[in-house]
């Protein structure tokens, strides 16, 4: 009974195999019942006697070798049609290798898809899912660079300049830190500039065209902010009336405001004021467009010293003949006049008080005149120091005639 059953079962199995040809599964090939193996491009179990064990087609892009011994398993679709792709360990996809992007070839004859090399400087990780991005090269060889969202370039980060490393072993290129005080935006194109650090942390500073420094703008002085959080340095506005040129080198001067809006004023060496020059009075122009203030030339016969303590010099306090003249100290029109009422300033390079015309002598230093008047009818030129008074040539004959007439009558 037992032997009969065993024989019947064996016969039934042989009948089943014989009824379906060599292999039941059209996607398997084999010589006998116990040796039906999945074809190349298929995966599954080797013993092809149940529907559940049938050979399944490899996922798109992946491939498998024909099984030969113990059969292919699900994980054996580990061949890729694309030579620059690698099969995921579960054989579900063939993803582009690190350094490549795109969609791996889906068949051996696929001319549409392929894994493409990442652009210079950019990199990618091994794909573990078919990328939907046009370019997934969002890794950079340079740690101070960031890939553009389209993966087309790796640009230096904000605060860096130069060309990002192009390969993992690139020793020529690298993103370099911007010089102190300067800054850069994230590169979105490979810069051709030697130094693209043309942004300044200080809003009152401008980067030198070569990006080497951020210098304070015209009208400002000091050291530009060196970082975004710098509270020590900053470009400060020049004192009123003073000005500065755009810094092209970091100034070591406390105050470099050595330009004046007023052409008749000179900046104090510390740049703190622009005072009227010697020979001028008033308040130096405070701005380039100031029409209220300006340094005025001292009136004749007076002068002033260089204003070195304030922008303003009220009066031309120096009389060119200080011994014989006083100043009316008027801020509107300071003027020197001779103390001797019968004296006046001489003309000349250095005017001095002298006796007026028809007087002679030396002027006094007080209001009491020491200039002596010529006798009636006599004249003397201004500046006469001795009695050179002479009678008028016209008056003498006339007076003589009058005398003659008086004698006759
Ligand atoms: C053989 O593979 C084809 C696809 O190539 C599939 O449609 C069919 O179902 C497979 N046959 C079996 C028996 O699994
Ligand atoms: C794989 O990439 C290389 C360049 O890295 C290329 O020359 C080759 O053609 C690529 N292979 C395929 C199948 O596209
Ligand atoms: C990135 O920049 C830092 C300084 O900010 C520097 O120390 C580092 O070496 C740079 N990395 C590379 C790869 O050049
Ligand atoms: C720039 O200068 C202006 C005055 O001209 C000042 O108000 C401003 O705070 C300055 N900016 C910085 C960042 O110091
Ligand atoms: C400077 O003084 C001269 C006279 O000495 C005058 O002609 C000129 O206008 C003055 N400049 C300014 C800016 O006021
Ligand atoms: C000042 O002196 C100059 C020459 O020295 C003369 O031309 C000018 O008229 C004088 N001005 C006054 C107001 O006297
Ligand atoms: C002008 O000021 C000086 C110095 O303050 C003074 O000595 C002089 O007496 C003043 N002159 C006049 C005319 O007020
Ligand atoms: C000072 O002298 C000038 C020139 O003579 C004159 O114009 C002005 O009015 C005088 N000022 C005063 C306050 O006397
Ligand atoms: C200066 O002195 C000259 C004479 O030397 C005179 O003519 C002129 O008016 C004086 N100027 C002033 C502003 O007093």
pLDDT in tens, 380-404: 999 999 999 999 665 554 555 555 5
Nearest to 247, CA basis, from 198, 206, 196 = 206
**Which residues are near ligand 5 (CB < 6 Å)?**
262-264, 294, 297
Q: End-to-end alpha-carbon separation of the chain, Å?
A: 206
At residue 244's C-alpha, the angle toward residues 239 and 246, to 5°, is 135
> What average pLDDT does this structure show over 320-337?
93
Question: Model confidence over 240-299: pLDDT tens digits?
Answer: 999 999 988 876 556 689 999 999 999 998 889 999 999 999 999 999 999 999 999 999
> Residue 362 corresponds to which tokens in the numbers above?
């030396």
Q: Is 296 within 8 Å of 273 (Cβ atoms)?
A: no
Give me the pLDDT at residue 30, please: 79
Q: Which ligand is nearest to the CA of 100?
A: 2
Give me the pLDDT at residue 87, please: 92
407 alpha carbon – ligand 9 mean position (Å): 48
177 alpha carbon – ligand 3 mean position (Å): 8
Q: Which ligand is nearest to the CA of 84?
A: 2
Which residue lies with its CA nearest to atom 14 of ligand 4? 234
Which residue lies with its CA nearest to atom 14 of ligand 3? 174
- pLDDT band of 229, cuts 50, 70, 90: very high
280 alpha carbon – ligand 5 mean position (Å): 9
The residues, ordered by sequence, that sit 6+ positions from 223 with a Cβ below 8 Å of its Cβ are: 181, 216, 233, 234, 235, 250, 251
209 alpha carbon – ligand 3 mean position (Å): 24
Q: Is 87 within 8 Å of 121 (Cβ atoms)?
A: no
Q: Which ligand is nearest to the CA of 221?
A: 4
Count CA atoms closer than 13 A to 357's CA, side-chain side: 2
Whether the CA torsion 286, 287, 289, 294 is positive or negative: it is: positive
Atom of ligand 9 lying closest to residue 299 CA: 13
Q: Ligand 4 pocket check: which of 183, 200, 203 to mutate, most ligand atoms within 8 Å of Cβ?
A: 203
Higher pLDDT, 181 or 22: 181
- pLDDT band of 347, cuts 50, 70, 90: confident
Q: Which ligand is nearest to the CA of 114?
A: 2
- 3-state class (DSSP) for residue 329: coil
**In the predicted structure, residue 212 carries a pLDDT above the cut 50:** yes
Give me the pLDDT at residue 190, please: 75
Distance CA 46, CA 295 (A): 107
- Which residues are bridge partners to 155 per DSSP? 146
143 alpha carbon – ligand 3 mean position (Å): 7
344 alpha carbon – ligand 6 mean position (Å): 13
Q: Is 215 within 8 Å of 244 (Cβ atoms)?
A: no
**In the predicted structure, residue 320 carries a pLDDT above the cut 50:** yes
Residue carrying the six token digits 């579960």: 90
Distance CA 197, CA 260 (A): 31
* 114 CB near ligand 2 (under 6 Å): yes
Distance CA 378, CA 373 (A): 9
């Amino acid at each position: 009974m037992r032997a009969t059953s065993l024989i019947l079962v064996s016969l039934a199995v042989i009948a089943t195999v014989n009824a379906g040809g060599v292999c039941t599964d059209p996607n398997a090939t084999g010589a006998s019942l116990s040796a039906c193996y999945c074809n190349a491009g298929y995966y599954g179990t080797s013993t092809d006697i149940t529907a559940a064990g049938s050979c399944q087609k490899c996922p798109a892009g992946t491939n498998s070798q024909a099984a030969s011994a113990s059969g292919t398993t699900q994980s054996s679709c580990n061949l890729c049609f694309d030579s620059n792709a690698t099969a995921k360990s579960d054989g579900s996809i063939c993803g582009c290798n690190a350094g490549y992007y795109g969609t791996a070839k889906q068949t051996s004859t696929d001319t549409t898809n392929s894994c493409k090399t990442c652009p210079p400087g950019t990199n990618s990780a091994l794909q573990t899912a078919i990328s939907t991005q046009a370019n997934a090269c969002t890794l950079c060889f340079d740690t101070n660079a960031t890939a553009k969202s389209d993966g087309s370039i790796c640009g230096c980060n904000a605060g860096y300049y130069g060309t990002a490393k192009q390969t993992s072993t690139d020793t020529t290129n690298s993103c370099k830190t911007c010089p102190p005080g300067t800054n850069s935006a994230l590169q979105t194109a490979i810069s051709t500039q030697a130094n693209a650090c043309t942004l300044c942390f200080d809003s009152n500073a401008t980067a030198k065209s070569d990006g080497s420094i951020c210098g304070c703008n015209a009208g400002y002085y000091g050291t530009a902010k060196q970082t975004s959080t710098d509270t020590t340095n900053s470009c400060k506005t020049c004192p009123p009336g003073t000005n500065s040129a755009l810094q092209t080198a970091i100034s070591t001067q406390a105050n470099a405001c050595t330009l004046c809006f007023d052409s008749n004023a000179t900046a104090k060496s510390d740049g703190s004021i622009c005072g009227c020059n010697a020979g001028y009075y008033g308040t130096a122009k405070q701005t380039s467009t100031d029409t209220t203030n300006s340094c005025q030339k001292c009136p004749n016969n007076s002068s002033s010293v260089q204003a070195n303590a304030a922008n303003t010099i009220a009066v031309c306090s120096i009389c060119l003949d200080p011994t014989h003249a006083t100043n009316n100290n008027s801020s509107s029109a300071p003027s020197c006049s001779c103390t001797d009422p019968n004296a006046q300033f001489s003309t000349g390079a250095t005017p001095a008080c002298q006796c007026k015309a028809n007087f002679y002598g030396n002027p006094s230093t007080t209001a009491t005149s020491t200039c002596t008047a010529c006798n009636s009818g006599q004249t003397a030129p201004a500046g006469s120091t001795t009695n050179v008074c002479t009678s008028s040539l016209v008056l003498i004959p006339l007076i003589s005639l009058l005398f003659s007439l008086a004698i006759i009558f």
